[in-house]
Structures are given as C-alpha cells and as structure tokens.
C-alpha cells in the first residue's frame, strides 16, 4: 500500500496548491485526481492580490502575470443609470506587490502546478484515481481510490478533501453542507468580439446591474466572458442555442451584428458552508468546504487561502512537533471568515446586480458614492473586496 504523510483528494486549484506547499515543506504528499488530466473547465479566472502574493512565495506568480491580464480597475454600472463607480487597486500599491486583479484561467494554473509536482521529490500525483472511500482510526487514514485496473488503497497521517462541490470525503464523513442552491442557473458565454467598443471607458471587470438582465463582463487574456442569469424555465437546449447567444450578446452590446461565441456553459450556483472543516485527521478545503456565487471572485481565492492556512498548520504539526489540536484552529479561522465575509459579501454582490427595490437601490448607490469619495472608506472597500481583510481577520482568531 502506497503511503505518505498527507493525501490530497482532487487536483483543482486548491488541491494542487496544497500539494505543492506540502511538498516544498518536505512533507510526503500523494495527490489523487479522478480525471485522466487536470480539469479543463472554464470557471475561475480572477486572482486577488493576496493570493498572488502567496503564488509569489510558491514561485509561480511571475509566470501567471506574464500570461495573464492585469486589471487594476473594476467597475459597478447600472443599466438604468449613466453613473459608473470605478475602483482602482493601484491605490494599494503601498500595500502589495500586486495592486490589481489578475485574469488568468484556473485550468492553465492547475496544469502548471501539476507539471511542477512531477519534479517534486516529496510529491506523487496519480491521475485517473477517483477517491471512493475514506476511513480513519487514531493512527491515520486509509483512502480507497478506483482506477481502470480496480481499486487501490493508500494510507496517510492526514487527508485533505479538496475534490470540489460534490466532495466524496465530505459525504463519507456525513458532514452537513448547509445553505441553499439558487433557483436560477447562470450561463457564461465567451467571445473574442471587442465588446468594449460599445461602452464608454469600460474596464476589464464590470458588474452591470439590471433586475431584468444583469451582466458580469470580464476580460481574460483570450476572451471577453459574459456571465448572465438564465431566464426562468428556459431549457438547457435553448440556453446553449445560437438564439440565446444572439439575444444575450446583442442585448449587452446593443449591436445588430452577429457575434460569434467560443464557449457556452450552464452553471448551478450555491451558497453553502460545511458544518465541519475537520473530523479527526481529515480536513476539507476549497469548494469541498464552501460554495458561493461567482460575483466577487471569491471561491477559488478563498479556497487557496484555506490551503495556505492548513499547510502552515500541517507544517507545524509534522515538522515542528505541534499538537494535532492545532487543526481545530484551521477550522475556526477559515470557517468564520467564510461565513462572516465570503458568504455575506457574495450574496450582497448578487443582490446589488438584481435589485429592483427603489429604496434599496437609492441607499446602496448613496453608500457606494460615499465610499468612492472618501479616501479611508475607499481603501477599506478595496482591502475587503481583495480579501486582505478576511485573511487578517482569520489571523486574529484563536481557539
Ligand atoms: C462561472 C464561474 C466563475 C468563477 N469564477 C471565479 C473567479 O473568477 N475567482 C474565484 O476565486 N472563483 C471563481 N469561481 C469559483 C471557482 O471556480 C471554485 O471555487 C474553484 O474551482 C474551487 O477549486 P477547488 O480546487 O476547491 O475545486 P475544483 O476546482 O472543483 O477541483 C476539484 C478537483 O477534484 C477532482 N475530483 C472530484 N471528485 C474527485 C474524487 N472523488 N477523487 C479524486 N478527484 C476528484 C475534480 O476532477 C477536480 O479536478 C467561479 C465559479 C464559477 C462557476
């Protein structure tokens, strides 16, 4: 039976970061991924400054910045109003080496980290190994994985479940995943068409409110990505049709031209937090532990912050003799900031996009106007949205 100090389930952004961190700390790690290669899905692309600082420590930030799109400014717009609220992260140049959001697709990132792991003497990466069971006793954890030739058993001191929303580790441990699923689905379309041509001063990241049809317009190195809510009761077939694509892209740009799209994907979106991030020697991180809507770009970033926090604690336990109870602090720190900031703020971001209550809108606009025009408030807003504050808050939490 192959064994290691830590087994990580899932080679997404969170699992690969955890595996590279652990291996660099001299901790023997096995990474098990169900797919035959890294997942090539079009989900996260937004990287916030503190996550880029972590990636700089791992030695991968330069490559990300070279191949990504640097976006210092993000904007809040409303289709019912000409007013544009712009937030410029260069104001944080005194705080961070990365005063911008970087747009860099998660599949390019996980590919690079999987390639790095191949050269890490302390790491072993197994593709096409789907974790199907975990079982622990006082001494360690046994993980069962299925592959084309049958099942294989692995043993470790600790296991990190980083296998995403449907985490088998979470389900096997019967950990509740409390929260809700939005009734509507979201659709993303991508296009190489110069969408910016149809707006005044459009930045690369734009939240455009409208109760009938809000839009997140996001530019990545290769495409404009357009995220919209799906009309209620629309079939998947319609949502993936040229008719819907023409409707959305025509509506966003206001042009009669036929605009080609490169990708069309439907997503279900949830707001959920696992009741426990730790059960004995088994830990949850990333989407396995929490889910939120993508408005704000918090999911992957906060998942990587989980991995960063957890790997530091595993280093203290495995390399420096700290007690295993330190893992309770991981749960307390990361679960608290997920509930207090990530969940609350992502739900507020969605509410801002779809709100039709005049009084709510009036107050919200007043608040953003006040934030924009006040140096202290604006700086706090930039630090909060970039997740600097939630990281600092987590550090203040003790057992
Ligand atoms: C449209 C959209 C846009 C988004 N944009 C952003 C953004 O810009 N910024 C941001 O921060 N977040 C964003 N998110 C959220 C982000 O994509 C997720 O939070 C992130 O992918 C979570 O990473 P993860 O590693 O925890 O899980 P995943 O990315 O889901 O990776 C899990 C991995 O585990 C593997 N796996 C699954 N089951 C098993 C098993 N049983 N055994 C072994 N392996 C298994 C999977 O194949 C996969 O490779 C977005 C989400 C959506 C839907």
* Pocket flag, ligand 1, residue 287 (CB < 6 Å): yes
Q: Cβ(298) to ligand 1 under 6 A?
A: yes
Q: How far is the CA of 13 from the centre of ligand 1 (A)?
A: 7
Residue 119 lies in a domain: yes
Q: Is the CB of 35 under 6 A from ligand 1?
A: yes
Q: Is the minimum distance from the CB of 13 to ligand 1 under 6 angstroms?
A: yes
What CATH code is carried by the domain that includes residue 164? 3.50.50.60
Domain membership flag for residue 35: yes
Asked whether the CA dihedral 156, 146, 119, 105 is positive or negative, the reply is negative
Does 46 contact ligand 1 (Cβ within 6 A)?
Answer: yes
pTM: 0.97
Q: Is 182 in the pocket of ligand 1 (CB under 6 A)?
A: no
Domain annotation covers residue 378: no
Is the minimum distance from the CB of 43 to ligand 1 under 6 angstroms? yes
How far does the centroid of ligand 1 lie from the alpha carbon of residue 378, in Å? 31
Report pLDDT digits (tens) over 57-98.
Answer: 999 999 999 999 999 999 999 999 999 999 999 999 999 999
- pLDDT, position 263: 92
Structural domain contains residue 109: yes
135 part of a folded domain: yes
Q: For atom 35 of ligand 1, which residue has the closest CA?
A: 10
Q: Report the alpha-carbon distance of residue 76 to residue 57 in Å, rounded.
A: 32
Measured in degrees and rounded to the nearest 5, phi and psi for residue 205 equal -135, 115
Mutate to test the pocket of ligand 1, among 13, 164, 173, 225 (most ligand atoms within 8 A of CB): 164
Q: Is residue 235 part of a domain?
A: no
Q: What is residue 352's three-state secondary structure?
A: helix
List Cα–Cα distances, 6 to 51, 143, 312, in angstroms. Answer: 23, 11, 13
pLDDT in tens, 113-167: 999 999 999 999 999 999 999 999 999 999 999 999 999 999 999 999 999 999 9
What's the domain range around 12?
2-71+101-178+270-353
Task: Give, for 328, the enclosing helix (H) or strand (E).
Answer: helix 326-337
Q: Indicate the number of domains in the chain.
A: 1
* CA atoms of 156 and 283, how far apart (whole Å): 13
Burial class (CB in 10 A: 0-12, 13-18, 19+), 247: middle
* 218: in domain: no
């Amino acid at each position: 039976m192959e064994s290691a100090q830590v087994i990580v389930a899932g080679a997404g952004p969170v699992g690969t970061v955890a595996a590279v961190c652990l291996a660099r700390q001299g901790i023997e790690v096995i990474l098990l991924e169900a797919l035959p290669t890294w997942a090539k899905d079009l989900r996260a692309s937004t990287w916030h400054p503190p996550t880029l600082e972590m990636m700089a420590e791992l030695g991968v930030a330069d490559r990300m910045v070279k191949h990504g799109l640097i976006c210092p400014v993000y904007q809040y717009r409303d289709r019912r109003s000409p007013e544009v609220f712009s937030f410029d992260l260069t104001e944080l140049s005194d705080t961070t080496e990365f005063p911008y959001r970087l747009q860099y697709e998660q599949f390019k990132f996980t590919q690079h980290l999987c390639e790095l792991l191949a050269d890490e003497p302390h790491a072993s990466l197994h593709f096409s190994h789907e974790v199907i069971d975990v079982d622990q006793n006082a001494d360690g954890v046994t993980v069962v994985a299925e592959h084309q030739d049958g099942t294989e058993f692995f043993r470790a001191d600790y296991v990190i479940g980083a296998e995403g929303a449907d985490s088998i580790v979470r389900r096997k441990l019967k950990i509740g995943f409390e929260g809700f699923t939005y009734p509507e689905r979201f659709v993303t379309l991508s296009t190489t068409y110069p969408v910016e041509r149809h707006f005044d001063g459009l930045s690369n990241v734009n939240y455009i409110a409208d109760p009938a049809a809000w839009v997140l317009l996001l530019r990545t190195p290769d495409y404009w990505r357009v995220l919209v809510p799906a009309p209620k009761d629309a079939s998947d077939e319609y949502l993936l049709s040229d008719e819907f694509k023409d409707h959305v892209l025509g509506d966003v740009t206001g042009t009669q031209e036929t605009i080609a799209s490169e990708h069309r994907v439907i997503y279900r979106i949830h707001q959920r937090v696992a009741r426990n991030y730790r059960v004995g020697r088994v830990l949850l991180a990333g989407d396995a532990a929490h889910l939120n809507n993508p408005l704000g770009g918090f999911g992957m970033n906060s998942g990587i912050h989980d991995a960063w926090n957890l790997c530091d604690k595993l280093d203290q336990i495995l390399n420096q003799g700290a007690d295993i109870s330190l893992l309770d602090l991981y749960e307390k720190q990361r679960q608290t900031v997920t509930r207090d900031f990530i969940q609350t703020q992502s739900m507020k971001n969605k509410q801002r996009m779809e709100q039709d209550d005049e009084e709510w809108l009036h107050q919200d606009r007043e608040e953003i106007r006040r934030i924009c025009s006040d140096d202290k408030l604006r700086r706090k807003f930039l630090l909060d949205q970039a997740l600097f504050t939630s990281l600092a808050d987590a550090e203040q939490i003790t057992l």
